[in-house]
Amino acid sequence: MKQSLTLGKVANFIGLGFLGSLKDLFTGNLNKEEFKSFLRKTLVPLLSILLFIGLWHLGAKSLYNIEANFKIEKALNDQGPEAAEALKACIEAGTSSCQPNTLPSPSQVWDSYKSLLRDHNIIAADKASFIEKTAALNEKRLAAGKDAITYTGRPSFVDQIFRSLKTVFAGFLLALFIAVPLGIFIGLSPTLKSSFNWFIQIFKPVSPVVWYLLVFMIVKTLLIDSNEDSSFTISFISVGFCSMWATLVNTAMGVSSVDKDYINVAKVLKLGNFQKIFKVVLPSSLPLIFTGLKITLSVAWMVLIAIELLAQSPGLGLFVWEEFQNGANDSNAKIIVAMFVIGIIGFLLDRLMLTIQNWVSFDKTDAI
């Protein structure tokens, strides 16, 4: 009982409170009010999810029919009635070569999801056996002072998710380490503020694509001697530069708008600059800094897809682009799978930030 209580608290804390009431429903200890709130918090979202899937299914079906009819009519006009009949039979038989290429249905997407997981398991097993096979050889090579042989097979979907997460976190950390200190300095000094203002105003609205190109120009030259693949470096730096503005602006604002009373206390006590910043200014602007960081993380995740695609850096963005170029029968369904994965991870990242914010911030009144 105690265990589940703390679990419920954790669920509430990270904004998944409805899980708690779900548990109460099964254990049967709900009164009328609680039942109502259970309906509102759990059943209604579940119903809306079902409704969404239903509409999606119907929409996909009608798009499928439009595309199929158009194909058959085209065959009839171009090649005559026999070809049209053959095509119709082919479509109805479900042969993959003649399927209309359109929005995939929910069941197709689910199948693709499962096939991507199967694919991952195969690749993971392959990789494991490769490592096992080469272990002895690699030991010898390392002893002889040569480089170890590494697995260079195709990355699986799951590998690409982790690669994307890695890029986003590297970019996010870069943004954090540039924007927070810079924001503090700008917020503290009106001179710095006016000298940086034009810079912020001009660079803030620049699109991710242009940031990528800019970073590409610079990093390409800086790494001119290196044979390493620079796509990861370029993409994480681009992600960082694209996403840091929200944190920069919020930090500067938070620091410059610290309650005047706190500043007066610091003045009366003659706190040194270091003490003033770390004991008064930073803690009091923490809520705003975190709001900025939250926006930064979600922007980072959003621009990542476009930037990976441009940089040809392995990850979800590249996965989507390659599937689109691929044009295989289940490519569209895989793209939708990637879309959901991107959305869900984005949501989880947002919750993660909120949890950290609630944990470090003094202001507990912020509603989830």
| 359 in contact with another protein (CB under 8 A) | no
| 82 in contact with another protein (CB under 8 A) | no
* Contact of 71 with 87, CB cutoff 8 Å: yes
Binding residue for another protein (CB under 8 A) from 102, 279, 321, 339? 279
Q: How far apart are CA 158 and CA 166, in angstroms?
A: 12
Q: How far apart are CA 205 and CA 320, in angstroms?
A: 25
Tokens, residue 64: 């499928």
| 264 in contact with another protein (CB under 8 A) | yes
| 267 in contact with another protein (CB under 8 A) | yes
| 198 in contact with another protein (CB under 8 A) | no
# binding residues, another protein (CB under 8 A): 19
Q: Which is nearer to another protein, 207 or 275 (CB)?
A: 275
| 270 in contact with another protein (CB under 8 A) | yes
Instruction: Return the range that interacts with another protein (CB under 8 A); candidates 71-79, 99-107, 121-129, 266-274.
Output: 266-274
Q: Which is nearer to another protein, 86 or 282 (CB)?
A: 282
> Over the range 315-326, which residues count as b (16 or more CB within 10 Å of their CB) and which as e?
bbbbbbbbbeee
Write the binding mask 154 to 173 for another protein: x where contact by CB under 8 A, - elsewhere.
--------------------
Instruction: Return the range that interacts with another protein (CB under 8 A); candidates 4-12, 120-128, 141-149, 283-291.
Output: 283-291
Q: Which is nearer to another protein, 325 or 365 (CB)?
A: 365
**How many CA within 13 A on the CB side of residue 306?**
14
Place of tokens 């209309």: 100
Give every CB contact of residue 64 below 8 A, 6+ residues apart in sequence. 100, 102, 103, 105
Give every CB contact of residue 206 below 8 A, 6+ residues apart in sequence. 242
Residue 272 CB, nearest approach to another protein (Å):
9
- In terms of Cβ atoms closer than 10 Å to its own Cβ (0-12, 13-18, 19+), residue 110 is middle
List interacting residues with another protein (CB under 8 A).
259, 261-262, 264-265, 267-271, 275, 279-280, 283-284, 286, 362-364
